[in-house]
Chain A
Amino acid sequence: MSTLVDSLQAAAGLITDGESQLAGIVILSLRVSLSAVSLAALLGLPLGALLAVGRFPGRQTLIIVINGFMGLPPVVVGLLVYLLLSRAGPLGTFGLLFTPTAMIVAQTLLITPIIAALARQIIADAWAETHEQLRSLGAAPWRAALTLLWDTRFSLFTALLAGFGRAAAEVGAVMIVGGNIDGVTRVMTTTIALETSKGDLPLALALGLVLITLVLALNTAAHLMRQWAMRRYG
């Protein structure tokens, strides 16, 4: 119990005294996870739309695989990216291991299936309602996919938030490919893991509270933006 109280005090302290080190860690966390969400959106949204609207051999298999990959273990993704980017690996010459770029790559791989699978479901539902209409207008499948992506944008935004949540919360992948290097690849989750290792449980929990607060604040902002946009453009 006293640990919890200590943590709450420590968390309040961390936020209010605006320690520059914490700010750097938070900014890096946001930079990595927001970048990963953007890249995953560029890959996952078109893929989801294609799977929802397109009809091609292997489509069902692909849907099952993508749905299954929503549960990819971060450690496995981390290990895979580590072996790819390691100097002894196929992409070793770029020297990307232990950089924020490596962390973005790992998180992108981790959340692209989530965004693609959710987008497919959202767009497939919309397609079921409107495909007669779109067909009667003579829309080609890719045109229909684009229209549906645009029409369901507010729902798709929730899919992106789900992806962001997963990216910001995971520790297994970024620990392996980032190396938790102070000032270079240390993010919120790896800092929490480090402080836990040091046995400083109140500080670790305090950092956890900061992370949760941050994710909640971002989601609140996203929610308000979405409401505003729906009223204005919906």
Chain B
Amino acid sequence: MNSLRRNFLAGIAGALWLATLPALAEDKFIVVSSTTSTEQSGLFGHLLPSFEKKTGIKVRVVALGTGQALDMGRRGDADVVFVHDKAAEEKFVTEGFGVERKEVMYNDFVLIGPKADPAGIAGGKDILDALRKIEAAKAPFVSRGDKSGTHAAELRYWKAAGIDLDKAKGPWYRDTGSGMGPALNAAASMDAYILADRGTWLSFKNRAELTVVVEGDKSLFNQYGVMLVNPAKHAHVKKELGQQFIDWVVSSEGQQSIADYKIGGQQLFFPNAKR
């Protein structure tokens, strides 16, 4: 009985040791809050190894919607914010939470819909016209509804199309409050229309009956920006390491690496940093 009790205590001691074990020692790392589109499209998986190899700085990416990612920066829980909602980003900088916004790359939004195309919009170029037809047909439409960059863009398009969502909303408009992937899963199972960023769409596998119905409209342009969280607000921000990351992303080497990322021969993001 005593030996069992000893074993039992040894077990607890061992487990405690496990619990207090420090996180794998990585002296140099930064936390980047970013969007699901950059993470789930596989861009970071392609981009970060070259940066980490060159500088020895590990990048820990937390992928959220743009709204949440900016909020993480506001709270000081990230060193760098890498998102896509220009208006929200500029507000972030004006409020003093971010140091300086730099443009990095763009991709575009695409309107996805079922092949059956109940609103009769397939092949069109005009996103506003397409949204009007969806509303008129009361065809199922899935919204992110999560304050992400894509959600903000969707709301801008509805407004520009002259549709007051508060009044027009009905069972056809399905606010899922979820990330790009889960929202696409929902649209696939409901045969609904949905606005998506091209990167996530290209790497998305559970497409079912969905296909691209509207693309190529100039207003579907989707710009990404990067910002260092202001060390004046949060003293622990890793200023030098974070700046090194930003400098690399907008450097010719970083920009080339972004351009090189392709899925099935298609380029997902187009570098356009101003230098």
Contact = CB atoms under 8 A, between A and B. Distances in A.
Contacts, number: 94
A88 interface: yes
B182 A198 contact: no
Given A87-B76, A87-B234, A198-B204, A101 B60 contact: no
A184 interface: yes
Contacts of A150: 5
A198 B77 contact: no
Contact of B205 (A34, A36, A198, A233): A198
Contacts of B24: 184
B76 A92 contact: yes
Given A38-B12, A87-B76, A233-B4, A197 B36 contact: yes
Interface residues of A, number: 39
B47 interface: no
B206 A98 contact: no
B184 interface: yes
A39 to B, nearest CB: 6
Interface in A126-167: 150, 153
B194 interface: no
A196 B62 contact: no
Contact of B76 (A41, A88, A99): A88
Contacts of A104: 19
Contacts of A31: 18, 21
Contacts of A36: 19
Given A181-B62, A194-B40, A197-B181, A88 B75 contact: yes
B19 A97 contact: no
Given A87-B75, A88-B76, A180-B62, A197 B40 contact: yes
A65 interface: no
A197 B18 CA distance: 31
B180 A184 contact: no
B243 interface: no
Interface string A153-190: 10000000000000000000000000111101000000
B182 to A, nearest CB: 6
Given A180-B63, A229-B4, A233-B4, A200 B206 contact: yes
Contacts of A198: 40, 181, 203-205
B40 A86 contact: no
A92 B182 CA distance: 31
B132 interface: no
A142 to B, nearest CB: 18
A170 to B, nearest CB: 17
Nearest to B207: A199
B83 to A, nearest CB: 15
A184 B204 contact: no
A95 interface: yes
Contacts of B116: none
B60 A98 contact: yes
A97 B204 CA distance: 30
Contact of A184 (B1, B23, B77, B206): B23
A105 to B, nearest CB: 10
Contacts of B180: 197
Interface in A182-229: 182, 184, 194, 196-201, 229
B156 interface: no
B10 interface: no
Nearest to A35: B19
B4 A200 contact: no
B31 interface: yes
A48 interface: no
B115 interface: no
A98 B75 contact: no
Interface of B: 1, 4-5, 8, 12, 15-16, 18-19, 21, 23-24, 31, 36, 40, 45, 60-63, 74-77, 179-182, 184-185, 188, 203-207, 234, 236
Interface of A: 31, 34-39, 41-42, 86-89, 92-93, 95, 97-101, 104, 150, 153, 179-182, 184, 194, 196-201, 229, 232-233
